[in-house]
Chains A and B, each alone.
Chain A
Amino acid sequence: EIVLTQSPATLSLSPGERGTLSCRASQSVTSNLAWYQQRPGQSPRLLIYDASNRATGIPARFSGSGSGTDFTLTITSLEPEDFAVYYCQQRATWPLTFGAGTKLEI
């Protein structure tokens, strides 16, 4: 099973700042990585798929990069609604696995 390690566990920033979240895979997943956002009390939402493609309706301030084992989700100029938990997920091999999440807090 591929283990995804997200860092940091918690990231404290202010609105308007830039957020950089990391996801590292225990073995190469090439570009088979997605990012999800989960706001408090809500279901997860797909943000980025195939490492760098924004899902439908996702604002341009969200971007994904990386390949192989190291990936980054960047949020430029944080909005109040961006403070949430972010998960990465790989689909390179079964079972599908998620990282433990990064909590982005104000």
Chain B
Amino acid sequence: EMQLLESGGGLVQPGGSLRLSCSASGFTFSSFAMGWVRQAPGKGLQWVSSIGGNGATTFYADSVKGRFTISRDNSKNTLYLHMNSLRAEDTAIYYCAKDPIPAASLGSNWFGPWGQGTLVTVSS
């Protein structure tokens, strides 16, 4: 069974940093693109970033470009999101999600399945 387990969320002050992790199991991790999607409390979904299966291709939403970095360690079946210069508007549940179509670089850019999410709160 495919599983995605996020960790690393928590309370951080504005301007601070945080690293989120997503541990994957139940599939050949390196064969699939992965992404991060966030959801502010009570709000809708916002795509944050995507990375290809081989880690060579990345894309970011304008709102996080230059502040967030997506990466992956295929030997550890783990996806990361390094977040710097955090702002109050970054407060959200961060979900990692798997692309349903295998591809060495970016895949279909659909998302399924999703992890359970990890909450990031940016506040002083």
A97 to B47, Cβ gap below 8 A?
yes
B108 to A100, Cβ gap below 8 A?
no
Q: How far is the CA of A27 from the CA of B44 in the complex (A)?
A: 21
The answer to whether the Cβ of B85 comes within 8 Å of any Cβ in the partner chain is no
Q: Which residues from chain B contact A99 at a C-beta distance below 8 Å? A: 44
The answer to whether the Cβ of B110 comes within 8 Å of any Cβ in the partner chain is yes
Q: How far is the CA of A97 from the CA of B44 in the complex (A)?
A: 11
A98 to B46, Cβ gap below 8 A?
yes
B111 to A46, Cβ gap below 8 A?
yes
Interface residues on B, range: 20 to 34
Query: Contacting A89 at CB < 8 Å: which of B100, B110, B114?
Result: B110
B100 to A98, Cβ gap below 8 A?
no
A44-B95, A46-B100, A55-B100 known; A94 and B59 CB under 8 Å? Answer: yes
Q: Which residues from chain B contact A98 at a C-beta distance below 8 Å? A: 37, 44-47
A91 to B61, Cβ gap below 8 A?
no
Query: Contacting B47 at CB < 8 Å: which of A38, A45, A96?
Result: A96
Interface string of B104-122 (1 = CB under 8 A from A): 0000111111111100000
Q: How far is the CA of A45 from the CA of B112 in the complex (A)?
A: 6
Interface string of A53-68 (1 = CB under 8 A from B): 0011000000000000
The answer to whether the Cβ of B1 comes within 8 Å of any Cβ in the partner chain is no
Interface string of B37-50 (1 = CB under 8 A from A): 10000001111001
The answer to whether the Cβ of A25 comes within 8 Å of any Cβ in the partner chain is no
- 29 A-B pairs with C-beta separation under 8 A: A36-B45, A36-B111, A38-B45, A43-B113, A43-B114, A43-B116, A44-B37, A45-B112, A46-B100, A49-B108, A49-B110, A55-B112, A87-B45, A89-B45, A89-B47, A89-B111, A91-B108, A91-B110, A94-B59, A95-B47, A95-B62, A96-B47, A96-B109, A97-B47, A98-B37, A98-B44, A98-B45, A99-B44, A100-B44
